[in-house]
């Protein structure tokens, strides 16, 4: 592989050099010139951030933003370049606790990769850092200490999916199990707020929630809202001077978030003093990992406009699209709607583009990864929303090298490769060396310009539909 360094060249005054750890590699006493070579370490990154404000993650607030997850740590520069000509702001350091666990990375490593890329590219437009899918207060501590600025709370474990279908009698039993103390109220309070003949949301859109609608919403999301409130209060009380913004994700659930449920969640969070930057509902249709949207696009558009109207009604947050990788048909729909700001979150698609580089430049390595992924797919897919058919992907020996890149156009192949990233990046041989990770990294480092080019093309496809905004 290729190692990058930070070089400091000073003439006369060397106080700045002392803030960085490294070795002096050249001293020219005649010109009083000193060159110091420094590793791209956490310590040196923090020194850099003290000196250059543009390398410090910001709270982005209400604007169009794009989340680029980078599981290997070499894609950030390509991500930054892909944003040229777009009004989207970048969220570069973005990794969920699940991804950190699966890739054996620390939050500091994710931050390092983002900051050094920002410095390399001279990207001064400001970037965010998303601590994604946080479930506990320990998660918050971990990510605050690493300097993340956006905190995505995932209360999915507290969402009661069966509330959509169980009897009213069962609902009433479950209403008693809601954490009313944290919600600072009772069912009667909510009944008087939400059960009305008409709540006018927009010119041609009203809600008329019934008692049963409210009961279902309370059972489905009540404890999730209580959990969000606890997480939010912890962040704001333990770190009162820390600059942060909060996203709520209820997208990884089995059942769709109806417009009334969105209205209810946003209304309750507002009542409880939880300030949202963005909310990710569970939209209609299938948002599977690594492939385009599956579902009725006209229905999606109709429902999405209702969700947008609710955002405008409350007027203080943006709508967030999770599992946003490769949802090209959805971007075409959203790109035509100019009423609200959007946050798109992607992660796995950059890993797939990295594998595409290996398929082009080191087909033997890619074939090994393909066979390995096929062998572990059934066990690895358990925590993912995917539908790939393993039988549609042949053993690698049956593909010619020239056919490998075409596999990235195949939905089944994309998903099989996608969900196996954790094992591909962490499994080791008996002697302790990595099975694949170091080889992938070397291939990407040696073909850096190809890697960036592939990323730019791929993310232009994500961003172009929004350029008509």
Spot the catalytic one: 70, 99, 130, 132. Answer: 132
Among 279, 281, 278, 272, which Cα is nearest to 236's?
Answer: 272
SS3 helix, strand, coil % of the chain, rounded to 5? 50, 15, 35
What is the distance between the alpha carbons of residues 258 and 307, in angstroms, rounded to a whole number?
A: 9
Residue listed under structure tokens 């009725």: 296
Q: Of 130, 245, 247, 288, which one is the catalytic site residue?
A: 247
Active-site residue 389, yes or no?
A: no
Q: Any catalytic annotation for residue 448?
A: no
In whole angstroms, give the CA distance from residue 308 to residue 206: 13
* Residues annotated as part of the active site: 132, 247
């Amino acid at each position: 592989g290729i190692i990058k360094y930070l070089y400091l060249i000073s003439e006369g005054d060397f106080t700045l050099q002392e803030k960085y750890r490294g070795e002096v590699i050249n001293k020219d006493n005649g010109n009083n010139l000193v060159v110091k070579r420094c590793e791209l370490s956490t310590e040196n990154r923090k020194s850099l951030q003290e000196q250059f404000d543009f390398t410090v993650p910001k709270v982005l607030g209400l604007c169009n933003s794009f989340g680029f997850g980078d599981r290997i740590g070499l894609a950030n520069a390509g991500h930054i370049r892909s944003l040229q000509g777009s009004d989207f702001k970048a969220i570069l350091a973005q990794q969920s606790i699940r991804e950190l666990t699966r890739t054996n990375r620390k939050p500091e490593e994710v931050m390092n990769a983002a900051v050094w890329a920002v410095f390399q590219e001279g990207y001064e437009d400001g970037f965010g850092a998303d601590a994604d899918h946080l479930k506990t207060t320990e998660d918050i501590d971990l990510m605050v200490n690493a300097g993340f600025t956006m905190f995505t709370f995932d209360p999915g474990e507290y969402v009661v999916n069966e509330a959509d279908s169980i009897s009213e009698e069962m609902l009433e039993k479950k209403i008693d199990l809601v954490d009313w103390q944290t919600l600072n109220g009772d069912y009667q309070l909510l009944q008087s707020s939400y059960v009305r003949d008409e709540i006018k949301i927009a010119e041609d859109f009203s809600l008329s929630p019934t008692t049963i609608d409210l009961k279902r919403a309370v059972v489905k999301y009540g404890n999730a809202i209580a959990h969000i409130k606890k997480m939010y209060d912890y962040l704001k009380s333990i770190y009162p001077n820390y600059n942060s913004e909060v996203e709520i994700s209820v997208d990884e659930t089995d059942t769709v978030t109806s417009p009334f449920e969105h209205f209810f969640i946003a209304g309750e969070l507002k009542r409880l003093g939880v300030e949202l930057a963005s909310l990710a509902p569970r939209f209609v249709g299938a948002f599977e990992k690594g492939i385009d949207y599956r579902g009725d696009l006209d229905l999606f558009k109709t429902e999405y406009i209702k969700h947008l109207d609710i955002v405008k009604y409350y007027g203080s947050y943006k709508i967030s699209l999770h599992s946003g990788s490769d949802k090209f048909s959805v971007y075409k729909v959203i790109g035509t709607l100019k009423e609200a700001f959007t946050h798109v979150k992607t992660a796995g698609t950059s890993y797939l583009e990295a594998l595409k580089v290996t398929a082009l430049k080191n087909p033997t390595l890619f074939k090994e990864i393909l066979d390995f992924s096929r062998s572990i797919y059934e066990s690895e897919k358990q925590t993912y929303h995917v539908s790939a058919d393993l039988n549609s992907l042949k053993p690698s020996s049956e593909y010619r090298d020239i056919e490998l890149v075409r596999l990235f156009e195949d939905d089944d192949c994309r998903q099989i490769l996608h969900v196996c990233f954790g094992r591909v990046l962490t499994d080791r041989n008996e002697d302790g060396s990595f099975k694949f990770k170091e080889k992938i990294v070397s291939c990407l480092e040696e073909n850096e310009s190809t890697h960036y080019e592939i990323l730019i093309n791929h993310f232009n496809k994500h961003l172009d539909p929004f350029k008509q905004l």
